[in-house]
Amino acid sequence: MGSAADKAKGLANEAIGNVKQGVGKMTGSEKLEAEGKVQELKGEGQQAVGKAKDAVKKAANL
């Protein structure tokens, strides 16, 4: 998977995670809130992978 795809999936997972957290808070569902936090963190990790891939590409082109 390319760096752009990693970053895009990361953004999507963060957004979905944030929505789940909000719905969980509104409905009092601790389970949904926790699932949202996990998904948000997964998204942050995916974005970090994408940024790392970009950095490696830039370093290889020097």
The pLDDT value given to residue 55 = 93
CA dihedral 43, 48, 49, 54 (to 10 degrees): 130
Contact 23, 29 (CB under 8 A): yes
DSSP 61: T
The pLDDT value given to residue 1 = 78
pLDDT tens sequence across 14-61? 999 999 999 999 999 999 999 999 999 999 999 999 999 999 999 998
pLDDT(62) > 90: no
The pLDDT value given to residue 61 = 86
pTM score: 0.85
